[in-house]
Structure 1
């Protein structure tokens, strides 16, 4: 799907996922020490705004100009750096403490490459958090993209996290209207152990 298709979706249905963060993201990050965060494929900005309220310095990137325009309109404090950009080509101007990839769905090899690339932006002690629809959702859940080519498995995300310290890699089931959605979570960061000691 290209940016113009997402522009149309946001025009047709502003605020499609509500104003609050996904519960899994809230649970994983509620006790995290704020620092510099990047919200990739931020959509309408619900996670970026929540991170900002929690004290993070946030850069939020999406390729839908309409989504970014709507997100800016909801950013009452005007502290978030909203950017229109292709997340597969965009990079921050320095190390970050958190990279959030929430429901970013790309062909699997591109997603793996994006996760590995984003992990390279992390400062020591930094954290990468990916949450998206699992391939299991296509077979067993409800909602989400109907294209299995863009839905990762546990093995896909394990491959993307090669070289990282993996703190969590799991399926997350959540109730939705009419059934259960099956998401997939990766919570990982750089190793801080010196291999030569």
Structure 2
């Protein structure tokens, strides 16, 4: 439930907070929670597509949306945190693309923005708070327009320093393989074409600047029917 490139989500006690309280607290406690860069897999995939309409789920600080808008996309971005959305809107305005992004507050477990989109992006949609990820992703698939792309990128493992958070480390955090993501989506084979289902290693830096490597799961599907 976040947008990230350098930091992995810090696991926590899944039932200690409701989702809105958890993410509002995290954003209010840090002036910058993520790297401020667009996610590299999104950049790679979207750069090959004709700009159209995009839905950015769990948009965080808006880095992906701002990158897309700067390349001609009309973007709808959703997040549960009002603080994150306000910061993202300010960043978009500063970048000169504020008019190309519609920022909407949604608890994705309850609602998603209306409409169908040429690209639906779910980047690192994990949460230490109880979160029905599979259900949300199936709902997201319903918002992909014919010919559009569903892109799901997630952690397959956490970086080495994640274990140093002691009692906040949550071994139950769901980090599915590409095959498990496809199985969770359970989309009709006649209506979807799998473009990517692979694993990539990525260099990251921890909260104290320490280098490390983490592994991500990538699934990209095109709606053909």
User: Which position in structure 1 is the counterpart of 2:187?
Assistant: 162
- Are the aligned partners of 1:108 and 1:156 in contact in 2 as well (CA < 8 Å)? no
Match for residue 129 of structure 1? 151
d(CA) in 2 for partners of 1:171, 1:32: 21
Separation of aligned partners in 1, 2:44 and 2:141:
21
Q: CA deviation at 1:59?
A: 0.6
CA RMSD of aligned residues (A): 2.2
1:147–1:69 CA distance, 2 compared to 1 (3 A): farther
| Corresponding residue number in structure 2 for 1:142 | 160
Query: Which gives a bigger RCO, structure 1 or 2 (Cα 8 Å, sep 6+)?
Result: 2
Residue number among 126, 142, 146 corresponding to 1:120 in the alignment: 142
Instruction: Using the TM superposition, give the Cα deviation of residue 146 of structure 1 relative to its aligned residue in structure 2, in angstroms.
Output: 4.4
Out of 161, 168, 177, which is 1:153 matched to? Answer: 177
Identify the range of structure 1 (59-68 vs 156-165) with the bigger mean alpha-carbon deviation: 156-165
C-alpha deviation, 1:53, in angstroms: 0.5
How many residues are aligned here? 188
TM-score, scaled to structure 1: 0.86
Relative to the length of structure 2, the TM-score reads 0.76
- The C-alpha deviation readout for 1:155-187, integer Å capped at 9, x for no partner, is 321211532311101111101133211111110
- Alignment partner, residue 12 of structure 2: none
Question: CA separation of 1:133/1:38 partners in 2, compared to 1, >3 Å: closer, same or farther?
Answer: same
Structure 2 regions of 5+ residues with no counterpart? Answer: 1-16, 163-168, 206-210
Matched, 1:33 2:33: no
CA–CA separation in structure 1 for the residues paired with 2:131 and 2:181: 10
Q: Which consecutive segments of 4 or more residues in structure 1 shift more than 4 A?
A: 106-109, 143-146
SS state at 1:17 partner: coil
Relative to structure 1, is the Cα distance of residues 99 and 25 closer, same or farther in structure 2, using a 3 angstrom cutoff?
Answer: same
